[in-house]
């Protein structure tokens, strides 16, 4: 496993989507490691960016309010950085079905813009791309490894798959040092919880803290794996620090697959109060549901030394405590 303090101290690093959930937690960790952190975020309200997410580290990061769809802006912003963590994206599956053109712009065209900017203006940069387990679609077998067929069930999955392939092609053809992490359900402090557009778990946390009843679609027996955000940040840093990761794709995943109904019970237990009920699947969600899913992360464990460290119970307890304390900033 790489020595992250040595790997990042004093190094100029760019984070796209850096005021969002994962990006802001990554920025905080990088600032603690002594990196020179530049954040790019559009602060478009629908996508989760929030200046409160960097409260307490404002003097240790530089923030550029910019959109990754701006080709000329990205040509300038990528220059001078040794590592780029590309976390900017449209992640709502339902939004992608309602507005596929915007999803295409953000998850495909913008990725080419970033890659072209790097190819022309910073060809030596290391780029870590945030992909998603959604590109696998409905699993044919479990746990899902990197050899599983790629059969997305929604527009977002198609575009994220295309985005990932751009990074692989630019590595193979142009020699850009790219790596892709296929993330599963990430949760923790600073995630968007005001609605269910980005994560179901964020909305459940909102309902739990607000004293509202959770709604579980279908039977509640669907299995999921989850990663606490600190573990995801660790994976991003290890991927960036390791030369062996270049040109690779890696699954993330959890050690504790859990049914949705058991997840709801655990949240109620940790919160000390709450309730849930089963409801029929809304048709627009049922059409793109992937059923059971949990990932096989042995490749990144064996090659980079990563594995989740924070248990589901501990991670959920930390998350609930954060939103009870900072509710006014996220509701």
pLDDT digits (tens, 9 = 90+) for 150-192: 999 999 999 999 999 999 999 999 999 999 999 999 999 999 9
110-142 tens-digit pLDDT: 999 999 999 999 999 999 999 999 999 999 999
Query: Please, what is the angle between helix 260-271 and helix 200-210, to 10°?
Result: 30
Res 1: pLDDT: 63
**Residue 217: Cβ within 10 Å count:** 16
* Domain CATH code at residue 121: 3.40.50.720
pLDDT (tens digit per residue) in 219-261:
999 999 999 999 999 999 999 999 999 999 999 999 989 999 9
- Beta carbons of 220 and 57 less than 8 angstroms apart: no
Q: Which residues contact 125 (CB under 8 A, 6 or more apart)?
A: 78, 81, 82, 83, 84, 118, 176, 177
Assess whether the previous peptide bond of 30 is cis (omega < 30° from 0). no
Residue 287 placed within a domain: no
Is 318 within the bounds of a domain?
A: no
Q: Where are the beta strands (DSSP E) in 42-159?
A: 61-65, 83-86, 126-132
The per-residue pLDDT for range 183-230, each reduced to its tens digit, is: 999 999 999 999 877 789 999 999 999 999 999 999 999 999 999 999
CA R_g for the chain: 19
In a domain, 84, yes or no: yes
> Any residues with CB less than 8 A from the CB of 243 and at least 6 apart, and which?
none
Instruction: Give all strands of the β-sheet with 126-132 in edge-to-edge order.
Output: 61-65, 36-41, 12-16, 83-86, 126-132, 177-183, 249-251
* Domain membership flag for residue 49: yes
Name 132's bridge partners. 183
Provide the whole-model pTM. Answer: 0.96
Domain range for 170 is 4-191+226-257+294-311
Tell me if 208 is assigned to some domain: no
- Quote the number of domains for the chain: 1
Q: Which two tokens stand for residue 106?
A: 């953000």
Residue 113 lies in a domain: yes
- Helix (H), strand (E) at residue 119: helix 110-121
Neighbours of 123 (CB within 10 A): 11
d(CA 86, CA 130): 6
């Amino acid at each position: 496993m790489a020595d992250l303090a040595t790997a990042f101290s004093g190094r100029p690093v760019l984070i796209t989507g850096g005021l969002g959930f994962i990006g802001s937690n990554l920025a905080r960790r990088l600032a603690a490691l002594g990196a020179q952190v530049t954040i790019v975020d559009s602060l478009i309200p629908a996508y989760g960016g929030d200046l409160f997410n960097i409260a307490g580290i404002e003097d240790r990061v530089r923030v550029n309010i910019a959109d990754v769809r701006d080709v000329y802006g990205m040509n300038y912003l990528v220059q001078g950085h040794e590592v780029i963590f590309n976390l900017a994206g449209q992640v709502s599956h339902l939004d992608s079905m309602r507005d596929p053109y915007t999803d295409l712009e953000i998850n495909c065209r913008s990725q080419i813009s970033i890659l072209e900017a790097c190819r022309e203006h910073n060809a030596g940069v290391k780029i870590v791309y945030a992909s998603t387990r959604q590109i696998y679609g409905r699993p044919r077998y479990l746990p899902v490894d990197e050899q599983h067929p790629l059969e997305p069930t929604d527009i977002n999955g198609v575009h994220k798959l295309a985005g990932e392939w751009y990074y692989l092609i630019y590595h193979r053809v142009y020699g850009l040092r790219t790596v892709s992490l296929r993330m599963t359900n990430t949760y923790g402090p600073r995630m968007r919880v005001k609605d269910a557009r980005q994560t179901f778990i964020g909305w459940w946390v909102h309902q739990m803290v607000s004293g509202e009843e959770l709604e579980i679609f279908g039977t509640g027996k669907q299995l999921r794996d989850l990663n606490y955000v600190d573990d995801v940040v660790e994976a991003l840093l290890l991927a960036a620090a390791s030369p062996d990761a270049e040109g690779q794709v890696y699954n993330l995943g959890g050690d504790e697959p859990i049914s949705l109904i058991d997840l709801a019970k655990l949240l109620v237990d940790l919160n000390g109060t709450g309730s849930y009920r089963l409801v029929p699947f809304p048709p627009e969600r049922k059409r793109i549901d992937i059923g059971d899913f949990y990932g096989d992360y042995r490749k990144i464990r064996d090659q980079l030394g990563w594995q989740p460290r924070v248990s589901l119970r501990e991670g959920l307890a930390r998350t609930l405590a954060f939103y009870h304390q900072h509710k006014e900033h996220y509701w």
